[in-house]
Amino acid sequence: MDYVPSPEPAPPAGSAPIPVKIVVAGGFGVGKTTTVGSISEISPLTTEAEMTSAGVGIDDPGPATGKTTTTVAMDFGCVTIDRSLKLYLFGTPGQSRFGFMWDDLAHGALGALVVVDSGRLDDCYPAVDYFERLKLPFVVAVNAFDGRLAHDLDAVRWALAIDERIPIVAFDARNKLSVRDTLLVLLDRALADAVRSQHV
């Protein structure tokens, strides 16, 4: 008789989903707050402050975003993936002067979504580098501003020297399903890393 694997045991009726912390990180103005807001099933907590003339020449969000505010502490939102899993999303500030907050926000996280704007790769390298050094599972999510990428994914991987084992995907930060699919890639990645570490 053929072996039939037993199905995943369902969580006991009424049990709460397991909470999992995910960081949404990346450079200035790449779409982190938008990402958290698109998927969150609660009204996201944001800490936006008006950008002032003091940031001119320092904070450049690119020509076309119409960006007038920036995150000064964090974004927070959550999304239930299924009966057994609920993700708590913590968005980082993007400006490098708030970099000291990243360690706290990454503490205890299962993984990170590193959001990238393919038109401003210079701003994106530090985030990739940070998570490589932290050894936290991460996925590089290239935000297709206005539905297109300034460079294709292979070029972005090359330019940011992203290891071939790190997944890189294109997504739309304003689209809930696109953000969900990207988070699922991250969960797959984190699970694969956890399984691999059990076998070494």
Ligand X SMILES: Nc1nc2c(ncn2[C@@H]2O[C@H](COP(=O)(O)OP(=O)(O)OP(=O)(O)O)[C@@H](O)[C@H]2O)c(=O)[nH]1
Rounding to the nearest 10 degrees, give the CA dihedral for residues 54, 48, 37, 139: 50
Which lies closer to ligand X via its Cβ, residue 71 or residue 118?
A: 71
Which of ligand X, Mg ion, none has residue 34 at its interface (CB below 5 to 8 Å by kind)?
Answer: ligand X
CB of 94 to ligand X, least distance (A): 2
Packed helices 176-198 and 32-39: angle between N→C axes, nearest 10 degrees: 100
Vertex 120: Cα angle to 116 and 122 (nearest 5) = 90
Site string for ligand X, 51-90 (x = CB under 6 A): ----------x---xxx--xx-------------------
- Residue 66's binding partner among Mg ion, ligand X, none (Cβ under 5 to 8 angstroms by kind) is ligand X
Q: Identify what 111 binds: ligand X, Mg ion, none; CB under 5 to 8 Å per kind.
A: none
Can you give the length of the chain in residues?
200
Instruction: Point out which residues pair with 156 in neighbouring strands.
Output: none
Residues 6+ apart with CB under 8 A from 57: none
Say whether residue 44 binds ligand X (CB under 6 A): no
Closest residue to ligand X, based on beta-carbon distance: 94
SS3 state of residue 5: coil
Interface with ligand X (CB under 6 A), residue from 44, 77, 93, 111: 93
Nearer to ligand X, 1 or 56 (CB): 56
> In degrees rounded to 5, what are phi and psi of residue 24?
-110, 105
Half-sphere exposure of 62 (CA within 13 A, CB side): 17
- Cα–Cα dist 177/184, whole Å: 10
**Interaction of residue 143 with ligand X, rule CB under 6 A:** yes
Binding interface with Mg ion (CB under 5 A): 32-33, 71
Q: How far is the CB of 115 from Mg ion (least distance, A)?
A: 10
Report, in Å, the least distance between residue 153 CB and ligand X: 16
Residue 118 binds ligand X, judged by CB under 6 A = no
Phi, psi for 187 (deg, rounded to 5): -65, -40
Kindly state the smallest distance separating residue 172's Cβ from ligand X, in Å.
5
> Quick count: other Cβ atoms within 10 Å of Cβ 151?
14
Task: Write out the residues near ligand X by the rule CB under 6 A.
Answer: 26, 28-34, 61, 65-67, 70-71, 93-94, 143, 145-146, 172-174
